[in-house]
Amino acid sequence: MRTAVVRLMTLSVIFILSAIASNALAQNIRNVSGDWTCEGACQVPGGGCHIDQDGANLTCRNEVTETVEGRMLTANRLTCWGLNGTLSGDGRAINWHNGTYWVKPPRWWEH
């Protein structure tokens, strides 16, 4: 009986710590949703890309319309297609580890 109580308490603590860690990530993730333009070693340089975001979950579409599920790993790191990307400080560029980078198109008031 005592072993069962200890196991239950251990599982409860693990569950609570997991929820706290998940909540901390959710509070710190940045919004990467919207349209992007592929630059660098793209299959279609200047091609349009898009990210839909639901919390830390991403749906990423590249310049040749390949769509995959991705994830925010930290506030500034994400993954799609098995590639890791790093979000710039201003949130307007993603540097992918395959030599491509995505930039946010200029906002209407920046033209």
In a domain, 7, yes or no: no
Domain span at residue 43 reads: 31-110
pLDDT given for residue 12 in this prediction? 55
3-class DSSP string for the chain: CHHHHHHHHHHHHHHHHHHHHHHHHHHHCCCCCEEEEEEECCCCCCCEEEEEEECCEEEEECCCCCEEEEEECCCCEEEECCEEEEECCCCCEEEECCCEEEECCCCHHHC
Residue 24 lies in a domain: no
What's the whole-model pTM score? 0.73
Residue 20 belongs to a domain: no
- Whether 3 is in a domain gets the answer no
Structural domains in the chain (count):
1
**Residue 38 in domain:** yes
Q: What is the CATH number of the domain that holds 38?
A: 2.40.128
Low-confidence ranges of the chain (pLDDT < 50): 11, 13, 17-26
What is the residue whose two structure tokens read 């040749």? 64
